[in-house]
Structure formats: structure tokens, C-alpha cells
Structure 1
């Protein structure tokens, strides 16, 4: 249970990271970003390799590995590629531009969905009973966190956030947002053909 709690500590650390971004405290921002990753990764790794295992059919761990890789990569893409890494996670301050294209046209917080499906895959792949316990707790905290993040941070930082909220669902994509996502991805490829080389 201590590793479930250790993983939960990542959200307050990330809240301090966002406060440091808002107040433009570069050193604190970098420390809290590192701490957030360390808390999340260490608790996940320990839970995956330690403890009791679930009795699952032999095909499910393979399916779990595929889900974990696909949705882990989507999470990474949404969090670190679509959002400019250096501006968001390293430099003082915060990004000055609201990202509304790509997976952020699909949902305002696509990484929450990717994280949920990544955890499903990881539970199946590792058969970890402890991770099965942690996953719904972490997801509930993540959803609560992004709801609070919108109210306390994003609506203040980005003047056009209210319009974005009207156009784009918070977590679960709709057929309309899915079409908008595909349209923005195609538009990006047309504008940047060098990315395909």
C-alpha cells in the first residue's frame, strides 16, 4: 500500500510544479518536474515487479504489453511532444500558447485517457494485484486533478480556454472531436512535409 501512496504523492508535486510555472520560479519548477517523474516511475516499477500476481489466461499479458506500449507512447506524445517540452517543463514560466490540435482536439486532457489505458495494459502485462488496486485510485485522483487544474490554472493562463472548453470534451472523445483531431493531424502533415522524411 505504501507504493500506492508514493505514487499519489506525484499529484501534489505536479501541483507545486504548476504553481512554480505560474510564478516563473525556474529552479523549483525543474525540481518538482523531476520529483513528479521519480515518484510516478518508482512506484510503478516496484508495483509491477513486486507482490502477488493475478491468475490470468496466458494470452492476456501479451495483450497487456501491446496496450501498455501503444498507450504509453500516446501518453508520451501528448505530454512531451505536442506540448513544447522545454517551455512547459524546463524553462521559467509556462507555455504561452494553448494547444488545441492533434490529440488536444480529441479531448482537453487526452493524457488522462492514455494513462488509464496504459494502466489497464500494465495490470494485464504484469498481473500485479497491487497495481490493480492502485490504478482506479490514481485515475480518480488524476481526473480530480485535471478538473481542478482547469479551474485554478488553465482558465487563468489561457484567455481562449473557455472557447476551447466549449468546443472540446474534457476527457472522452466524441465523434465530432475525433474528426477534428484527424483534420488537424492531416493539416499538420500538409504544412510540415519534412516531418515525414
Structure 2
């Protein structure tokens, strides 16, 4: 005799009387505790990523120190190395200290009090982007056959690569928004 298959009656997920399909609802305090734990975990993870992604450009800036200290390097090479160091330090500052601005539901960034420090921070990203572009153009226009530079011209691409990596990391860190989770809270009416 062939094996017998028993059919189970179809139940909508809300109509199920089985304990295995039912889920325990969270009351308001449990929801708040869960959201606070998630916020704390997110903030801890963001602070670790901020330190990590700030340390990489900071440490890579040391590769541009030898041409500045070397007597055999040209003035142009010293200037380019100095600008590269400034760009990498600005990138590290951007990752570690620049505040995150979450846009509201309509995509607008909230207006904040403007002081001298805020103005410098607003100018930091565009100026760093311009510096990285100029360094990339220097790499593109620098003749590769001539070795009049002590360091390889490809090191002038490092500030731009670090800047892009930091901007992507900040974007990913900003994409985790627990405000939407707070909006999904429900009011549990217990018996």
C-alpha cells in the first residue's frame, strides 16, 4: 500500500490556533527596552566604525611624510605630499568628528545654529573633494616614464580613495534609522 498523505486545513496566519504559529506580543515597556538596546548597539557599532575609518586615513598620511623631510625631493613634490597629508587628515576628521545629519521624512536636513566651527565643517567636505580631484589630476597628468618624484605618483590617488571610502561608510552608518522602528510601535492592551 502506498504511503498515505494527510492534508492539513489551510489557516490564515491570524486565524491559527496553534501555539507554534502564535507569537507573544510585546508591551510598551518591552518595546521601549528593545528599541533602547538596538539604539545602544547601533551607537556602539557606529563609534567603532568611526574610529576604524578615521584611523585608516590618519595612518596612511604617514606615507607622505618622507618626501617632505627628504632633501632630494623637489618643491612641487613637497607641496603635493603636504596637500595629500592635509586631505587625509581632513578625511580622518570628517569620519571621527563631523556630526551625522539625518534628513527628515521629506529629505530635508534640519536647520541648526551656525557658528564658525559649523561653517568650517560645511566647507571641509567640498574643499577636500577639490583637493582630491586636483591630486587625481596630478596623477593623470604626471608622466610615468620620468621618475623625478621620490614617491610613486599613484600615492596621490590615496587621499581620494580614502575620502570616497569614508563617505560611503558614513552613508551606510546613516542608513540605519531607528526612528522608523519607533514609529512602528503599537499599543498593547493586555487583559
Q: TM-score range by the shorter chain?
A: 0.3 to 0.5
- Give TM-score, length-normalised by structure 2: 0.34
Computing the radius of gyration from Cα coordinates, the structure with the larger value is: 2
- TM-score calculated relative to the size of structure 1: 0.33
If each structure's helix is expressed as a fraction of its own residues, which one has the higher value?
Answer: 1
